[in-house]
Structure 1
Amino acid sequence: MKHKLLSALLAFTLTTPVFAADSGRTVENFNFGWKFHAGDTCGAPDRSFNDSRWTPVSLPHDFQISQPWVAPAADEKADMTNSAANTRSRLSARAFKEMGAGWYRKTFKADPAWKGRRVLLDFEGIMLTGDVYFNGSRVGGTDYGYLGFETDITSLIDFDGDNIVAVRADTGKPENSRWYTGGGLYRNVNLIVTDPRLHFTRHPLRITTPDVSDSSASVVIDAELTNAIKNYKEIRVLAEITDADGQTVSSRTLTLPFNRRQRTNEYRVDSLRIASPRLWDCDSPHLYTLSLTLFAPDGKVADRISETFGIRSIEYSPDFGFRLNGKKLLLKGIANHHTLGALGAAAYPAAIEKRIRILKDFGFNHIRCSHNPYSKQFMDLCDRYGILVVDELYDKWTRQNAGGRKEWMEQWPVDLPEWVRRDRNHPSVIMWSLGNELQMLWNLPFADWGVTPYRLQKTLLKRYDTTRPLTVAMHPRYRDVNTDSLPAPLALATDIASYNYRYMYFPGDSRRFPGMIFYQSEANTSGMGPNFYEMDLDRVVGLAYWGMIDYLGESAGWPAKGWTQGIFDISLEPKPIAWFLRSIFKPEEPVVHIGVIDSDEQLMWNDVQVGTQKLSDHWNRTPGSSLTLYTFTNADEVELRLNGKSLGRKRNAVADPKTRNRIVWENIPYSHGYLEAIAYRDGQGRPVTIHRIETSGRASRLTATADNPSWKADGMDLQHVRIEAIDSHKRRDPQASAPLTFSVDGPAEIVGVINGDLCSHELSTGNTRSLHNGTATVILRSTATPGPVTLTASSPEYKDLKIRLTSK
């Protein structure tokens, strides 16, 4: 029987600071100065290999995103979801990109100060599998590219000549993933230098609070370290905690008794209390910083590590679902893959941050990492913005979906500790998910429908974190093997019962098994509204809508290169249905928005209807036509006016979850001019909000809007520039589709070009892209040199547009 109350207190977020040598540790960003070669080549690890013709690249880098599309054969286009189709057809899941390998090389000189030091290469991820060579010798690699690793290169460093790092990345076979993964060195690489005898290990800190209130919080600090100094029996450590304003709230020097029989061990560093803590929550995500300093016997600093953290409590119960800091909170979430539109899998923090800001603006407070660990920078940003995370390790428990080179039973004991230790200190992480859609698998180890593999993983996970519950997501259709009326055995074994799409099972399962706690781990866009309002919102944990941002891969058929059922298109333009969700997730904010029905799409996916109506929110229509449209609103009543003439008022049927916040209007005649939706709330005579769409003329010029006024000249920061085609009255022309060519003058480069059309055959790399619905976006990456940047957009239909920017 499951416990009725599961509690978890406090979590912390990891940073990757760059410390000076006097801190005992240096961390050098190793993202620059690489060269890339597509495909395999003989001798690439050798120091004597000539890579002069290879392409210079900076990390993060996804080598698949620039590859051409691989169109299916004519006889395969009819049914791209047929699992028996051949290899080219199976590429539909992986965005019609060819699978293969790529090589990276970097040449560098060793710093003489490294002599006598310990030198590591830290790879945050190599997609999908990778092998690392240093000066001709294989020194490490990964069989699961969603997690990182480090490798010690100390003994192989040449202090007199060039040093060569060579990396082979392989995307595997088409069947090794069910979506677009990208390929290559798609996350950061760092070079770390520490004391060889006395240092912290990888992901060494574990910090918890067994007691949290508004008046006081207890903080328990554990750290794993290595000590190879024989006579150093009591290790001195300085622990310092500062708040977000830089004020010190605790500073203590302690001694740790050293056990010589075990050079590497986890130590209890300290247990202390913080008075009147500033709690971390979604609205005020306050972060503290913990710094730990190790001292050598002579009093000098041997090592120092720093992490930010947030003080908060989480609780789960079948009675109330989820509480944050003692208050009921409903997870209003998104489940998406890790990729970033035009950038593919390349994990740019600025691109991740842009998505988080958009999601938060529309009312999201939760992200499920489907179905693999996201980047460390993603976790840091969720901590910063107050986004709650369900952290997921795998898709399905098979060799096929875990990388393909090793059996899954051999792989997970390696992956799980790296994953949990990396992410356990993030306040944003509130639940661990070990897998996705597992009850559909008939061949799980131990022949008990996944219960034993789950328990094995749970035992290991609890070695590293005991503060959060565990779950796995259940496939939407399959239930118990013997009777479809009962939950699968695995659903009964987990701490949280997570069902994809089948929220309608919650009431019946709760009556039979009153200890179950429910989370709708995937909800479909086509059921938006009912799949939210038909749940008992007072008792469930919440939900995560699947694929809210369109993405590459999982195409329903050529020419679509990916998933098209989101509420934002792949260029991050909101579709009209985004305001339907906003009206649900932000009930306190008056919302009204018009969505005109253009067509219906009857798409089935995993036995679930996911196809949605195609909507648009412009007023350029065929003269004489009659239209059906929605007004999405959380107001009580909406009036529709055409060119100032009222077409009537309609009530929001809030008592009916199937139609709530979605008022349908039929047989609306089109007339050139404007259409207005005016929303009212009972007791207020004035409109609470208005949405107006107007007939535009043909576009006469281009405009540009940049999103990053604090563009940093660090070689990593991005500037998203949205181009829009407008008429003489500054109205967007939805029919504008002219091609654009971009050029840059100054310290920046183009790293992505995108519009919202996933059926386009244009690539998102290069410097050209057509307008779609009158818009397109170009993404610029800064260099390490600050200065003015001029972006020019040229088109055969419009005068050149120049936008002047500055990186600082």
Structure 2
Amino acid sequence: MKRIIVLLLGLWMMSCSQQQANLQREIDFNFDWKFTLVEDTLPPNNVPLADQDWRDIRLPHDWSVEASFDSTLEGCVGYLPGGVGVYQKHFKTPVDLEKQNVFVLFDGVYNNATFWINGKKLGVNPYGYSPVYYDLSSYLKTNGEENSITVHVDHSRFADSRWYTGSGIYRNVKLITVDKLHIPIWGTFITTPEVTKEASKVHLQIELENNYTTDQNVEVVTSIVDAKGTELSKATSNTSLKSNQRNKITQDFTVKSPKLWSPESPTLYSALTQLKVDGKVVDEYSTPFGIRTIEFKVDEGFYLNGENTLVKGVCLHHDAGLVGTAVPLGIWERRLKLLKEGGVNAIRTSHNPFSKEFLDLCDRMGFLVQHELFDEFDYAKDKRQNFHDRHSDYATRGYDEHFQQWAKSDLQRTMRRDRNHPSVFQWSIGNEIEWTYLHYRYITGFYTDPKNPNKNKGFFGKPPMFTPEELKVRYDNWEKGEYILAETAKKLNDWVKEMDDTRPTTANLIIPQVSHVSGYADAVDIPGYSYRNVIFPWTKKYFPNTQVTTNECPGTWDDWKQVLEYPGVFSIFMWTGIDYIGERNERWPEKSAWGDMLDLAGFKVTGWNYFKSIWKDEPHISIGTLPLKKSGFKAHEMSGLPVAKNKGSYKWRNSNWHWNYKKGEKVLVEVTSNYATVELLLNGKSLGYRSMSDSPGRIMRWVVPFEEGELVARAKFGKEETVATLKSAGKPSQFTISADKKQLKADAYDVSHIVFQLKDKEGIPVKTEDVRVTFEVEGNAKLLGVDNGAWTNIQDFQSNTLTTSQGRALTIIQTTKEAGDIKITAKAEGYPDQTINLKSTH
């Protein structure tokens, strides 16, 4: 009898398991694609295409980063090419189409993409940053033959952006299979309208769709569960849908003693929704969410969960060095971890929507996200030189040509995908759009030369020269173009509010004094300024009821002081947190720049130490050095103290993290710290103290004639002492390789960063000499590429060999689906080979 019971129980569990397997909505659709580059920009007439000679690839894929840097190409996109590519994949119909529907979901294709299934055109999507999906159900084969999905990607206008975009299907692709009675893709919207320590109200809007030929009665059951899967609240609704009807229902829940989402404690919950027909589950949908409150007050700033919160933000572009824009999640995870350790708690997605995967990571790691939608509206920016467009060549034509037709659809699809993320706390409709409406700059009075529209008389460093009343008169009297910026902005803002009225809108204003009188600033909830800190007193005087903040800035102590001195100003977003490819017009061999905290390889730079000393409460001290003659300082003739040549010299800059110069050479030593007083010592001899109060820009400086040995900066608070050291390195005699992860998942996604560093016989890093290094990989992994982080590194990313920078290099390896041992060997002429062993498991 026991055996019968056990057997029946086992059969029941197998049945439940099979039912659960059949309800898997998402299938990873990234593998087993074919790819080729083509010459013709016109989409093919007859598809599918013969692809037996094409490359076998897996997605995500960025074909531009596979190429060599070329000085004859465009610096705006990092001297890498675009082109036209075609992707194709063959697959069998995975479900019974009498009962189920099949969709394909592309999270991002750059750009001008056309899609077919079995030769039937599904549609197009010009914007490279918006997700798009198509219903394949009517076109799939039911006779057991393979289907063919074809994607034509036209990035022949390869310089269509002011930064590197990548080319191809560079984000994830999913195949979605659902019952004909189902919750549509992005079909839920969850909010937390009331939150206290005792309880939180949770409001869930659920869309339902019935594609059966008959009416359907459905029971909708939703459970709120925590990270451990414990059910905290439950709701059940009953409704009916007519054939081919889409409808919405709402459910409300109470979560007792909620754990609130914040950067310090990014607690997540899930709303698990089941659709049942006659007791049988026909669809399941999971909606991850966080419980938190956001509030913005004009004279007080930003409140997260009732606490005044300062937004310590960075702007980021969506590429990541050697992988281009097809960025494995582990690379973003490593980079965001370093940013967080440096004090960052917010990210601005400059200047376009990022991937779903990226926002999922921000949810889990605890980053606030200012979600930006567009860089161009009605008129084009100049891709090579920024500001308004001064070129008309084919290669630089961009999204402005699609904006009128596609902006609403792109915005709505993106927001439907992203509005449940607790990390998203603002929607930004656009970036520095005023440049493309020429009259805005002339109205300021700082721009006066129509023959040279970018020539100005101190625009960025001076407050407005007119009152708002005077500016309004000038605006009203100035000739305008076909499109009015304030009207376009209001239209965008209205579209955002239709999708989500729980978060404020913003825009990054570059000419705010005019935007405040034209109606542009009034179109959004919280105008953000771009490099216009000097205007805050003027705004507070004339627009006391308007909350403003900083959406983009260079990233200096002066920028952060605005947040501390003006209570309503709650944020900075420095440009940028991490190096990015592009925006280097006519600067060959520079192909990247402007990473304030991490370079293109993800290595820390001086700004990481600088902002950690400002943003983190934990004790911090660090040392940087520069040859005095290149530092912007000189030594005082009598005291020997450093004297700045101009005010700009006081700002932080990338300095050397070594103590190796010519004997007697004068060196500027810069110390960043959050201690009030720091002492500097060379070989045990004190070189004196510097205090924070006497150090402009919060950087303490000494002029030190170089002497080989050990440089020490130390500070004390009570009995606690914090020390930073730099030791002179000898000649390189060895190198080491290290891995950030040694235990990996055999899922064909997981990555490990392998760092090479030259060292002397004592193990001190040698940062003044370089060597050519070759990496070899054995086992179940592939090498994604190599980099050294330098702006001027124009060696191929897609290689296994390169010359180091600062004696350092990076390679990234990625697992395959097969588990096993992985061995990485680094080789450099004149040095013994070094190996490191990793392991991947299922």
Partner of 2:560: 532
Asked whether the 8 Å contact 2:217–2:240 carries over to 1, the reply is yes
Code of the residue aligned with 1:480 in structure 2: it is V
Residue 25 of structure 2 corresponds to residue 29 of structure 1: no
Partner of 1:367: 347
Asked whether the 8 Å contact 1:392–1:433 carries over to 2, the reply is yes
Asked whether the 8 Å contact 1:600–1:613 carries over to 2, the reply is no
Partner of 1:267: 249
Residue 114 of structure 2 corresponds to residue 131 of structure 1: yes
Closer, same or farther: CA 647–780 of 1 in aligned 2, 3 Å:
same
1:23 Cα offset (Å): 5.5
Query: With structure 2 as the length reference, what TM-score do the two structures score?
Result: 0.85
Residue 588 of structure 2 corresponds to residue 558 of structure 1: yes
Q: 2:693 aligns with which of 647, 653, 656?
A: 653
Closer, same or farther: CA 19–200 of 1 in aligned 2, 3 Å:
farther
1:233 Cα offset (Å): 6.0
2: CA distance, partners of 1:399 / 1:502: 23
The 10-residue stretch of structure 1 (140-149 or 398-407) with the greater mean CA deviation from structure 2:
398-407
Partner of 2:656: 616
Residue 824 of structure 2 corresponds to residue 791 of structure 1: yes
The structure in which a higher percent of residues are helix is 2
Partner of 1:634: 674
What is the percentage of aligned positions where both structures have the same residue? 31
Asked whether the 8 Å contact 1:333–1:543 carries over to 2, the reply is yes
Asked whether the 8 Å contact 2:592–2:600 carries over to 1, the reply is no
Asked whether the 8 Å contact 1:714–1:783 carries over to 2, the reply is yes
2: CA distance, partners of 1:20 / 1:539: 54
Asked whether the 8 Å contact 1:114–1:193 carries over to 2, the reply is no
Closer, same or farther: CA 564–118 of 1 in aligned 2, 3 Å:
same
Trace 1:570-719 onto structure 2 (pairs within 5 A).
570-586=600-616, 588-598=617-627, 599=630, 613-653=653-693, 659-666=696-703, 668-681=704-717, 684=718, 686-687=720-721, 689-719=722-752
Q: How many residues were matched structurally?
A: 750
Partner of 2:267: 286
SS of 2:786's equivalent in the other structure is strand
Asked whether the 8 Å contact 1:474–1:500 carries over to 2, the reply is yes
The 10-residue stretch of structure 1 (494-503 or 612-621) with the greater mean CA deviation from structure 2:
612-621
| Cα distance per residue 1:351-398 (max 9 Å; x no partner) | 111111111000000000100000001111111111000001011214
1:65 Cα offset (Å): 0.2
SS of 2:262's equivalent in the other structure is coil
Q: 1:519 aligns with which of 529, 539, 549?
A: 549
1:613 Cα offset (Å): 3.8
1:47 Cα offset (Å): 5.8
| Cα distance per residue 1:105-131 (max 9 Å; x no partner) | 222233364564211111111012211
Asked whether the 8 Å contact 1:786–1:807 carries over to 2, the reply is yes
Partner of 1:54: 54
Query: With structure 1 as the length reference, what TM-score do the two structures score?
Result: 0.88
Asked whether the 8 Å contact 1:23–1:302 carries over to 2, the reply is no
1:800 Cα offset (Å): 1.3
Q: 1:376 aligns with which of 356, 366, 379?
A: 356
2: CA distance, partners of 1:156 / 1:261: 20
1: CA distance, partners of 2:685 / 2:518: 57
SS of 1:653's equivalent in the other structure is helix
Closer, same or farther: CA 473–334 of 1 in aligned 2, 3 Å:
same
Code of the residue aligned with 1:155 in structure 2: it is S
1: CA distance, partners of 2:19 / 2:326: 28
Trace 1:312-331 onto structure 2 (pairs within 5 A).
312-331=292-311
Where does the alignment leave 5 or more consecutive residues of structure 2 unmatched? 1-16, 382-396, 440-479, 634-647
SS of 2:498's equivalent in the other structure is helix
Q: 2:404 aligns with which of 409, 424, 437?
A: 409
SS of 2:832's equivalent in the other structure is strand
Partner of 1:70: 70
2: CA distance, partners of 1:171 / 1:400: 17
Residue 437 of structure 2 corresponds to residue 453 of structure 1: no
Partner of 1:3: none
Asked whether the 8 Å contact 1:239–1:251 carries over to 2, the reply is yes
1:497 Cα offset (Å): 1.5
2: CA distance, partners of 1:341 / 1:43: 31
1:751 Cα offset (Å): 0.9
| Cα distance per residue 1:140-184 (max 9 Å; x no partner) | 331111111111222222333232222122224245211100010
Code of the residue aligned with 1:742 in structure 2: it is F
The 10-residue stretch of structure 1 (160-169 or 782-791) with the greater mean CA deviation from structure 2:
160-169
Q: 2:191 aligns with which of 208, 221, 226?
A: 208
Asked whether the 8 Å contact 1:25–1:195 carries over to 2, the reply is no
Residue 804 of structure 2 corresponds to residue 764 of structure 1: no
Code of the residue aligned with 2:152 in structure 1: it is R
Query: Which structure would you say has the larger Rg?
Result: 2
1:423 Cα offset (Å): 0.9
2: CA distance, partners of 1:718 / 1:228: 41
SS of 2:745's equivalent in the other structure is coil
Residue 427 of structure 2 corresponds to residue 432 of structure 1: yes
Code of the residue aligned with 2:702 in structure 1: it is W
Asked whether the 8 Å contact 1:529–1:660 carries over to 2, the reply is yes
Asked whether the 8 Å contact 1:45–1:134 carries over to 2, the reply is no
Closer, same or farther: CA 261–160 of 1 in aligned 2, 3 Å:
closer
2: CA distance, partners of 1:400 / 1:234: 51
Residue 513 of structure 2 corresponds to residue 479 of structure 1: yes
Closer, same or farther: CA 601–547 of 1 in aligned 2, 3 Å:
farther
Where does the alignment leave 5 or more consecutive residues of structure 1 unmatched? 1-17, 73-87, 603-607
SS of 1:339's equivalent in the other structure is coil
2: CA distance, partners of 1:46 / 1:23: 35
Closer, same or farther: CA 340–115 of 1 in aligned 2, 3 Å:
farther
1:507 Cα offset (Å): 2.2
SS of 1:65's equivalent in the other structure is helix
Asked whether the 8 Å contact 1:121–1:192 carries over to 2, the reply is yes
Partner of 2:474: none
SS of 1:533's equivalent in the other structure is helix
1: CA distance, partners of 2:159 / 2:673: 42
Q: 1:350 aligns with which of 322, 325, 330?
A: 330
1:264 Cα offset (Å): 1.3
Asked whether the 8 Å contact 1:35–1:104 carries over to 2, the reply is yes
1:478 Cα offset (Å): 6.3
Asked whether the 8 Å contact 1:336–1:370 carries over to 2, the reply is yes
1: CA distance, partners of 2:650 / 2:802: 29
Code of the residue aligned with 1:277 in structure 2: it is P
| Cα distance per residue 1:661-706 (max 9 Å; x no partner) | 211212x11001111111233xx2552x111001111222221221
The 10-residue stretch of structure 1 (48-57 or 309-318) with the greater mean CA deviation from structure 2:
48-57
Asked whether the 8 Å contact 1:19–1:26 carries over to 2, the reply is no
1: CA distance, partners of 2:701 / 2:483: 48
Code of the residue aligned with 1:638 in structure 2: it is V
2: CA distance, partners of 1:26 / 1:97: 38
1: CA distance, partners of 2:728 / 2:799: 33
2: CA distance, partners of 1:378 / 1:601: 39
1: CA distance, partners of 2:596 / 2:676: 27
1: CA distance, partners of 2:311 / 2:262: 13
